Amino acid sequence: MVSESDQFNLLYSLSFTLFLFSHFILCYTFLHYFTKNKLVMTKVTVVGSGNWGSVAAKLIASNTLLLTNFNDEVKMWVFEETLPGGEKLTEVINQTNENVKYLPGIKLGKNVIADPNLENAVKDADMLVFVSPHQFMEGICKLLVGKIKAGAEGLSLIKGMEVKKEGPCMISTLISNQLGINCSVLMGANIANEIAMEKFSEATVGYSQHKEVADKWVQLFTTPYFIVTAVNDVEGVELCGTLKNIVAIAAGFVDGLEMGNNTKAAIMRLGLKEMMAFSKLLFPSVKDSTFFESCGVADLITTCMGGRNRKVAEAYARNGGKRSFEELEEELLKGQKLQVPK
Ligand SMILES: NC(=O)c1ccc[n+]([C@@H]2O[C@H](COP(=O)([O-])OP(=O)(O)OC[C@H]3O[C@@H](n4cnc5c(N)ncnc54)[C@H](O)[C@@H]3O)[C@@H](O)[C@H]2O)c1
C-alpha cells in the first residue's frame, strides 16, 4: 500500500524530471539550431550604393531578416562623398538609415551597414552583389584582387560592357576573370525608384552553370513586389541589359524631335531585333527566349519610356545638339551616370 505522501513525492519527482528533461531538449535544440545556422549563415555585401545599389540593399536586407540561412546584416560599400553640409555620406546613411544623395526618402533597413572601406566591406562576404556604374568596375576589381573570400559567389547588376582592343568584355566576365569567382547577373525592367516605393516589377537572374546558386540569388532578391526568375543564359541576360541602353538613346531622340509614338514603337521593335542579332553574333549560345523575359523586351520598354538615357537624349535633341551629353548628364542626373561607353 503506497501512502499519500509517497504518492505525492513520486509525482513530484516525476514532474521535476520531466521538467528538467524538457528544458534539456529545448536548450539542445536551440544550441544545435544556433550553432548550425551560425556556421552556414551566408553573409552578403553590396558593392556600390547609387540609386540601384541602395534599392538592391533594401530588397536584400528585407529578406536576410526573414531567411534563416542568411546573416541579418547586409554590408554596403559606399564610394565616400562629402555632402554639401560637410557630412560624410556613409555616416549619414548609418545615422539616418537612408541614402540621402542617391535614394532620398527611402529607409534601407536598419540591418544595412554602410562602409566606405572596400576591403573591409567585402572581406567576410559569401555573396557579393556588384552594382556600380560600369565605368568604375575595372578599378574596383583591381582593388579587390586577393581580398575576396575563397568560394564567394558574385552577382552583377551592372548594365554595360567594357570595350577593349581585343573586343567587348561583359562585366560579369571582367569580375570572374579578375577576382577568380563565379559571377551570375540580375537584369530586368527595374527602374530603381519605382522598386524603392515597392511598386511591382520582375527581374531575371542569368546563370551559366550552377542552378542551385541561381536559386539562392532568386531567394535573396524575391519579395512580393519583386519577382525574380532564373534562366540558364548569362550572356543573353547581360547583353539585354546592356544593349537596351543604346536603343533608349534613339527613343530619347524621337521624343526630343517630337516624332510621335508610332516612330518610337518602330525604334523599339527594330532595336530589339538588332539586340538579338548583335547578341548572337557575340555569343551564338544566346537564346531567343531570353529576350522575352523581364531582362529583354520588358526592360527595353521601360528604359525607352522612363530611363535616364532617354531623358538626356531627349534634352540633347530639344537643344538641337548645342549642349553636350556631359553637360546635360551633370544637370539632369545629379550625380547619377549615363549608361554610355566612356
Ligand atoms: N538606377 C536604376 O534605375 C538602375 C536599374 C537597373 C540597373 N542599374 C544599373 O546599376 C548600375 C549602378 O547604377 P546606380 O543607379 O546604382 O548608380 P548611380 O548612377 O545612381 O550612382 C553613381 C554611383 O557611382 C558612385 N561613384 C562615383 N564616382 C565613383 C568612382 N570614381 N568610383 C566608384 N564609384 C563611384 C557614386 O558614389 C554612386 O554610388 C549601373 O550599371 C546601372 O546600369 C540601374
Q: Please tell me the total count of domains within the chain.
A: 3
Which atom of ligand 1 lies closest to the CA of 195? 3
Domain termination residue (choose one: 211, 232, 253): 232
Asked if residue 2 has pLDDT above 70, the reply is no
- Whether residue 52 is annotated as binding a ligand: the answer is yes
The answer as to whether 22 is a domain residue is yes
Considering the domain architecture, whether residues 192 and 80 belong to the same structural domain is answered as yes
Distances (CA, A) of 228 to 106, 149, 158, 194, 224: 22, 26, 16, 16, 10
Q: How far is the CA of 135 from the centre of ligand 1 (A)?
A: 9
Considering the domain architecture, whether residues 184 and 326 belong to the same structural domain is answered as no
Does residue 51's CB lie within 6 angstroms of at least one atom of ligand 1? yes
263 is written with which cell numbers?
A: 516612330
- Are the C-beta atoms of residues 98 and 104 closer than 8 Å to each other? yes
For residue 316, the domain's CATH number is 1.10.1040.10
The catalytic position among 58, 75, 101, 244 is 244
- Whether residue 150 is annotated as binding a ligand: the answer is no
Show the domain range for 248: 237-333
Considering the domain architecture, whether residues 135 and 250 belong to the same structural domain is answered as no
Cell 553573409 belongs to residue: 43
The answer as to whether 216 is a domain residue is yes
The answer as to whether 340 is a domain residue is no
Does residue 52's CB lie within 6 angstroms of at least one atom of ligand 1? yes
Considering the domain architecture, whether residues 215 and 306 belong to the same structural domain is answered as no
- Residue (of 95, 93, 85, 92) closest to 53 by Cα position: 93
The answer as to whether 338 is a domain residue is no
Considering the domain architecture, whether residues 221 and 287 belong to the same structural domain is answered as no
Does residue 133's CB lie within 6 angstroms of at least one atom of ligand 1? yes
Considering the domain architecture, whether residues 33 and 64 belong to the same structural domain is answered as no
Give the pLDDT confidence of 19-68 residue by residue, as tens digits. 666 665 665 555 545 544 445 799 999 999 999 999 999 999 999 999 99
Q: How far is the CA of 158 from the centre of ligand 1 (A)?
A: 8
Give the pLDDT confidence of 286-339 residue by residue, as tens digits. 999 999 999 999 999 999 998 899 999 999 999 999 999 999 999 999 887 887
88 is catalytic: no
- Residue (of 265, 197, 163) closest to 51 by Cα position: 197
Considering the domain architecture, whether residues 11 and 80 belong to the same structural domain is answered as no
- Between CA 254 and CA 261, with CA 257 as vertex, the angle to 5 degrees is 45
Q: What percent of the chain has pLDDT over 70?
A: 88
